Structures are given as C-alpha cells and as structure tokens.
C-alpha cells in the first residue's frame, strides 16, 4: 500500500465512524424523548382513570386473554364491552371548553371571628357553550362543591364561598378547578384554573394605653414630668445649691437677682420594649389559655409598634433547633407581626422560659421593659427565675392568662404579675399602671 492510499483510507474510516456515532446519538436521544413522552402519558392517564376504571381495564384484559386463549366467544364479547365502556368514558372527557374561572379573595387578612369569603367567577368569552361541570374549591381541609351551569357566549357566573375563621392560622384556598367525569365514574378529569391563595386569620387584639412604664433616659426620647439638672428639654430656673453643675448657671438671671440661678430640665426618656411569648405546652392548661396569651402579647406588641417605639417580640426556641433558645418575630410593621403570629403554636420541646429570657437579654441591648406572657400552669417561681435573668434596671411585668378568670394584680419580689381573664382586663390594668406612673 502506497502512502497516498493510506492517506485516502484513514479519512474514510474516520468519516464512517463519525456517521455511526451521530446515528447512535440520535437514536439514544430519540429513545430518551420517547421514554419521557411515555412517562408523561402514563402520569396523565394515571391522574384521569379512577380506581373503578382501572378495575374495568383489568377485567377487560383478563376477558380478552381468557377468551382468545380458550376460544370462549362470550368472554371475548365481555372484554369488548369493557373496552367500549372505557372508550365512551374517555370520549366524555374530551374538550376543555373556552371558558375562564378566576378565584377572587377580597381580603387577605381578617381577625378571628370576622366574616371572610372567596368568590369564583366563571366567564365564557368563546363561541362554544361552557359549563355543565362541577366546580371545586379546596378551603383548608374541606372541599366546597358547586355545579357550574352552561354559559352561553359572553355569559358570566359568580358564586361566593364562606371561609371559616373560627381559629387563628393560615387558611389555604384553592386552587379552583373544574371536574368533568363520566356518569359511571370510570374517568375523572380535573382542570386547574387558579393558584392557591392564603387567608391569614390574625389573633384578636385590643387597643391598650401607651406603655409609660420602663422608660430610660435617652436624648432622642420625649420629655417627661421628671426634673433633672442635666438634659436638653429646658423647664425653669431655680436657685443654685451646692453640688449643682456650674456649667448650667444662667448668668443673666443671676445678675438680675443677685443670686446664682441654674437651669432645670425635663428628663427625655424612651421605652425599649421586649415581649416574650411562652410557647411551652406545659405552661398552659388548654388551648383557650394559649390563644388568650397570643392575643395579649400581640396587643402589647401592636401598641409599641403604633407608638413607633423600639420593640422586640421574642418566642421560645426549640431545644434541638438551629435558632437557639429564642426566636424573634418581625416588628417592622403591625401586619408583619400578626402575620407571623398566625402560625405560632404550643410545643412540648421548647427551651425553658428562664433560658429564653436570658438569651434575649444577652442578644438585645438597651432594654427598659420586659413583658412575659404565659399561662396559669406556669408558677410564680419560674416567672421570678425568668425575671432574674433580665439585666438590673429593667422593669419586668408578667401576664398570666386564664380565660374568663378574675383579673388580679400583685407584686412578688419586685415582679409585677397581672392575671387576666379577658383582653379588656389587660387594657384596664395597663391603663391603671400608666396613670400611677
């Protein structure tokens, strides 16, 4: 073989191998695409055929196998009957319709017990008649059903659904779907028309008096009636006494009176509030106590946010959780806070209240008032232990919730403990405390 023949043969073999590789690659991709199509078709069929339909299919397959194997004409006819039933059920589901179904949620947030509703609006912009199917709307764990009447071109149908708001939480609504099924129940086809909406059911809150206890001196705060010799809010002049700062002597008034006069100021104070909601299941006698505690804590936090004060809302962390001994809920707005409180629940595996208070006090600086909200099963000793973990100089108020109980107020070793049976009791006690302060 000459050199020129070798040069000619090698490229031809390479070209043949390249063509073979391309053919194999296309075959593999085609097989993968066919497999994906078959898998999608199988999932679609599995979602349409009901258990009764699968039984009919299996019976038809058994009838055909047995009839043709043993020459039983009657069994073969039975198999064809089953096949005709399946074909008729599949033909019944043909067509999507030219209509549209919208889910409308007028109010995404409500308070426990308030009226809430969702609306389904079906319209038919097409030429063909749309309707005659069943409308289904999942609301929480239930499914509300209505029959959609046949709509002519340009027709519209609206139906309202009441949403239960008896319990605090987040209620998933939807997706809205139409269901078409054959009369026998062999096949069922669902068409989804909307996304899932969420209705946030907030805990009940009451407007309470401004939180005037637990103030600390702060040059950025508001003037109070307490007088001091050093601040920025001028109040009056008084005679000099030994020990006063000479920098605050008012020389013009001193020259007129012949006596040294010094400036007197009003203290500027600002409240830095921490609300701690106890999530320990053992702290509450029942669910009603816990719901009252959530409402009480939400009322205090909402008032602090409304007053534009610095507030931290703390809840118990899980013992094995990554969030540590405590978790902070968002307080950038009242809606964000009560939204987060919709999903707060009791837990048997949370960190003890004393550890929560200590972790919060170490993480949050500049506190002046701490409000601990818990149930009647939490004794005074654990409350005092939690209060002792708060830095000195910080006022601590504990609120124990006992639904329909008598309101009480007591002070134990410097710890103020309020017992409330209704949210209105909390408002009255805080108002009384503010007037005394």
pLDDT digits (tens, 9 = 90+) for 118-158: 999 988 887 777 767 788 899 988 998 888 887 787 888 89
**Residue 344 covered by a domain:** yes
Query: What is the C-alpha separation between 249 and 234, in angstroms, rounded?
Result: 13
Cα dihedral 287, 293, 294, 296 sign: positive
Let me know if 161 is exposed, middle or buried by CB neighbors in 10 A (0-12, 13-18, 19+).
middle
Residues 104 and 224 in one domain: no
* Residue closest to 415 by CA, chosen among 376, 385, 377, 378: 385
Q: Do 420 and 299 belong together in one domain?
A: yes
Contact 261, 237 (CB under 8 A): yes
Q: Residue 277: give its domain's CATH number.
A: 3.40.50.410
- The CATH number assigned to the domain holding 194 equals 2.60.40.10
The pTM for the full model equals 0.71
Q: Are residues 377 and 349 in the same domain?
A: yes
Q: Report residue 199's pLDDT band, with 50, 70 and 90 as the boundaries.
A: very high
Q: Looking at the structure, do residues 136 and 60 belong to the same domain, yes or no?
A: no
The answer as to whether 145 is a domain residue is yes
Does 115 map to a domain? yes
Q: Are residues 63 and 141 in the same domain?
A: no
Determine the number of helices (DSSP H) and then strands (DSSP E) in the chain: 9, 19
Instruction: Look up the domain containing 25 and give its range.
Output: 1-34
* 210 lies in some domain: no
Q: What is the pLDDT of residue 419?
A: 94
Q: Is residue 121 part of a domain?
A: yes
Is residue 19 in some structural domain?
yes
Tallying the residues shown for the chain, one arrives at 437
Q: Is the pLDDT of residue 3 over 60?
A: no
Given pLDDT bands bounded at 50, 70 and 90, which one contains residue 275? very high
Number of domains in the chain: 5
- Both 84 and 152 in one domain: the answer is no
Does 275 share its domain with 422?
A: yes
- Give 316-340 pLDDT, tens digit per residue: 988 765 557 889 999 989 999 999 9
The answer, yes or no, to whether residue 5 has pLDDT greater than 50, is no
User: Are 112 and 181 in a shared domain?
Assistant: yes
- 113 close to 204: Cβ distance less than 8 angstroms: yes
Identify whether 139 is part of a domain.
yes
- Tell me: do 308 and 275 sit in the same domain: yes
CA distance 201 to 172: 11
Are both 300 and 346 inside the same structural domain? yes
> Cα(256)–Cα(392) distance, rounded to whole angstroms?
45
Q: In this structure, is residue 42 part of a structural domain?
A: no
Q: Are residues 297 and 429 in the same domain?
A: yes
Same domain, 283 and 400: yes
In whole angstroms, give the CA distance from residue 42 to residue 413: 72
Largest CA distance in the chain: 134
Q: Where are the alpha helices (DSSP H) in 49-102?
A: 51-70, 73-92
């Amino acid at each position: 073989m000459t050199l020129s023949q070798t040069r000619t043969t090698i490229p031809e073999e390479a070209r043949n191998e390249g063509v073979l590789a391309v053919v194999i690659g296309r075959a593999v991709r085609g097989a993968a695409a066919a497999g994906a199509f078959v898998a999608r078709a199988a999932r679609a069929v599995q979602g349409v055929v009901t258990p009764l339909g699968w039984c009919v299919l299996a019976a038809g397959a058994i009838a055909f196998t047995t009839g043709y194997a043993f020459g039983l004409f009657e069994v073969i006819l039975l198999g064809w009957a089953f096949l005709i039933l399946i074909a008729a059920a599949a033909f019944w589901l043909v067509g999507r319709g030219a209509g549209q179904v919208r889910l409308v949620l007028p109010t995404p947030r409500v308070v426990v017990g308030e009226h809430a509703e969702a609306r389904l609006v079906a319209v038919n912009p097409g030429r063909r008649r749309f309707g005659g199917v069943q409308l289904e709307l999942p609301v929480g764990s239930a499914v509300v059903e209505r029959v959609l009447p046949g709509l002519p071109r340009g027709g519209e149908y609206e139906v309202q659904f009441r949403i239960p708001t008896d319990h605090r939480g987040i209620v998933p609504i939807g997706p809205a779907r139409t269901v078409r099924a054959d009369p026998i129940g062999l096949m069922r086809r669902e068409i989804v028309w909307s996304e899932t909406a969420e209705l946030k059911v907030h805990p009940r809150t009451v407007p309470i008096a401004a939180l005037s206890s637990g103030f600390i001196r702060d040059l950025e705060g508001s003037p109070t009636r307490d007088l001091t010799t050093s601040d920025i809010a001028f109040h009056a002049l008084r005679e000099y006494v030994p020990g006063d700062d000479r920098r605050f002597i008012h020389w013009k008034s001193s020259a007129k009176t012949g006596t040294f006069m010094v400036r007197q100021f009003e203290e500027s104070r600002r409240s830095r509030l921490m609300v701690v909601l106890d999530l320990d299941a053992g702290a509450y006698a029942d669910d009603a106590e816990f719901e009252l505690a959530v409402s009480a804590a939400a009322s205090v936090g909402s008032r602090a946010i409304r007053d534009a004060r610095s507030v931290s809302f703390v809840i118990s962390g899980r013992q094995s959780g990554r969030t540590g001994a405590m978790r902070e809920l968002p307080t950038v707005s009242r809606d964000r806070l009560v939204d987060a409180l919709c999903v707060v629940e009791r837990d048997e595996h949370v960190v003890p209240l004393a550890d929560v208070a200590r972790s919060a006090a170490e993480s949050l600086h500049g506190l002046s008032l701490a409000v601990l909200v818990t149930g009647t099963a939490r004794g005074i000793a654990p409350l005092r232990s939690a209060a002792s973990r708060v830095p000195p100089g910080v006022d601590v108020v504990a609120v124990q919730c006992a639904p329909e109980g008598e309101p009480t107020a007591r002070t134990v070793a410097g710890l103020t403990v309020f017992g409330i049976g209704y949210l209105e009791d909390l408002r009255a006690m805080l108002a009384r405390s503010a007037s005394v302060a």
